[in-house]
Amino acid sequence: MPDMVSLDRAGPQQRQFNPYSDNGGTILAIAGADFSVIAGDTRQSEGYNIQTRYAPKVFKLTDKAVLAVNGFAADGNMFVKRVRQRLEWYRHAHAKDMPLRAIARLIQTMLYGRRFFPYYVYNILGGIEEDGSGAVYSFDPVGSYERESCRAAGAAQSLVQPFLDNQIYFKNQTAAPGTTHPKHLPLQEVLSLVIDSFTSATERHIEASVGDGLEMYVVLARGSQLQGLENVPNVQEMTTTSDGERIFIIRRELKKD
């Protein structure tokens, strides 16, 4: 007699629709004394599959605020869209751009508003504070946040963050006798560190999740010098007003394999 297929042995079975996905990529932001650098790679992937080599993860919100969004791309794009809408409403109501610390708090409440069906995204907000200082705010998917002077997030966070601890915060380094470590690094040095971080991450990260292109936004405080930015290749100014903070974008290639 042939084997009988037992039906009741299978038991009830349920497959649930999974509304999330991980689209890889890495973002990074570093604050200087009077500037802020916010960067992200441009690859969008799912597992080992590269969906596109150019899908921006870093977005200009205002002339003094830039938001980098990493995680589930559909949530990320939708979140940026909603933040921008709230900022537009603010501009219409108050005839000015929302200050950076207020944007940070807005992002917290928006993220926490979805506490029980979270946006699967790690946010890093960079820009210039009202007092003219460079600032970076980092968030978890449900809205916990803090102001820092440097943060990496995404697929290569574990590779980049300890490197930044060492090179930005001078962790485990002792200053020469009679000297102290600088509180903030100059722009040129910050840009080199960002590029080094991304090339390292691209080189070593397993899975096809970091690479293709790099976009670095630089926000300069009101009235500050260009600090060598004019000599950087592929730099493009994105400022919309003439007397406020200035925003630049620098594009670079990363390895495509």
Residues near other proteins (CB under 8 A) are 15, 17, 19-21, 23, 44, 46, 49, 51-55, 72-74, 77-78, 117, 156, 158-163, 165-167, 171-173, 196-197, 200-201, 203-204
CB of 145 to other proteins, least distance (A): 20
CB of 182 to other proteins, least distance (A): 18
As a three-state string, the secondary structure of the chain is CCCCCCCCCCCCCCCCCCCCCCCCCEEEEEECCCEEEEEEECCEEECCEEEECCCCCEEECCCCEEEEEEECHHHHHHHHHHHHHHHHHHHHHHCCCCCHHHHHHHHHHHHHHCCCCCCCEEEEEEEECCCCCEEEEEECCCCCEEEECEEEEECCHHHHHHHHHHHCCCCCCCCCCCCCCCCCCCHHHHHHHHHHHHHHHHHHCCCCCCCCEEEEEEEECCCCCCCCHHHCCCEEECCCCCCCCEEEEEEEECCCC
**Shorter beta-carbon distance to other proteins: residue 166 or 234:** 166
CB of 30 to other proteins, least distance (A): 14
**Shorter beta-carbon distance to other proteins: residue 51 or 109:** 51
CB of 102 to other proteins, least distance (A): 27
**Shorter beta-carbon distance to other proteins: residue 54 or 89:** 54
**Shorter beta-carbon distance to other proteins: residue 20 or 89:** 20
